[in-house]
Amino acid sequence: MEGTGAYGAGVARFLRGAGIEVIEVDRLNRQARRQKGKSDPADAEEAARAVLSGRASGQPKTRDGAVEAIRVLVVAKRSARAARLGALNQMRQLSFTGPDQTAITLQGPLGGRSRVPGSRHASTSQW
């Protein structure tokens, strides 16, 4: 099976759970594929030939354990950081372009342009 670390991860996990041996097949020879053209049946046949001849014998990653847990945490952290920055940018832009009452609320009593809560330059007092 090709792509057990990405698109085929779910299928590989299902097959392993059913007791079926899964062998990772590397991407086929690109030069040969270009000469013959893209063909899923031909790719499948070449993958089967690679397994039967012993050229493909890799065990797919199980995608569990400590490494997978760390990967999930890194993805969640990256997503949370992007969401936080998006929210801060929206609040900052509203303080510039929004209705006067919204701008006053976001800017705080001092009227500073960088008084968005949670921003690096926000005042320490709560408003």
For residue 41, the surrounding DSSP H or E stretch is helix 40-53
- pLDDT number for residue 81: 97
Please list the residues that pair with 24 across neighbouring strands: 58
- pLDDT number for residue 65: 78
Of residues 98 and 17, more confidently modeled: 17
- Nearest-angstrom CA–CA distance, 20 and 14: 9
Region 19-43: what's the mean pLDDT?
76
Of residues 30 and 72, more confidently modeled: 72
For the entire predicted model, the pTM comes to 0.46
Chain segment 78-123, per-residue pLDDT in tens = 999 999 999 999 888 887 787 877 777 766 655 554 545 555 555 4
Residue 2 has pLDDT above 90, yes or no: no
Residue with tokens 């899964």: 22
